[in-house]
A and B are shown apart, each in its own frame.
Chain A
């Protein structure tokens, strides 16, 4: 099974500053999908951003962007101009491209935004 590692259990950032959350994964596949999900205190899981491995261009969604390094199997999330509402648990996830593939989640990073 694939493994997804988030080595930062907790992170903090000053409001309006930039923070980067790390994620690495282990796979022998060449084509796959990577995701970042946000879980605020409401506990709802919300998709933040999605990256397709065959695309070299890094995905961007407003203040959220990724740094996808395929050779290094690294998929970090950058949050720019951090806002209080960004405070949440963030999960990195991997899915192979095959139709029967499952999702694999990391253990999460808890982000605190300091006013």
Chain B
């Protein structure tokens, strides 16, 4: 089974709808991240969490919110989706130790907002 899973894998929604993307991990990592990927822009950080009680905004947090329900679960919400939020969304985890820190990614969620 995959260490980092994301649901759904693909989603089409309409402008103004609320949508939640979910991420679960079995790696036992404290740190979790949400990124979006757009062609020509690479990956940009939306939110990150270093533990259940620690949530931080990333580079492009406007229009998004997150919830860290448990060490293993980190959800991303779009309260009122708009077309320019159409993108590929990745969840990632890391241990947090500087000496070993590497990010492990989920399979991605392709979101289309019409």
Contacts and interface: CB of A to CB of B under 8 A. Distances in A.
Given A1-B59, A95-B101, A102-B58, A44 B40 contact: no
A41 to B, nearest CB: 12
Given A99-B96, A102-B48, A102-B58, A47 B41 contact: no
Interface residues of A, number: 27
A98 B98 contact: yes
Chain B interface, DSSP helix/strand/loop, else mixed? strand
In the complex, the 9 A-B pairs of residues with the closest C-beta atoms, listed nearest first: A45-B105, A107-B42, A105-B43, A105-B42, A43-B108, A97-B98, A108-B42, A106-B42, A44-B107
Interface of A: 1, 4, 6, 9, 33, 35, 37, 42-45, 47, 50, 91, 93, 95, 97-103, 105-108
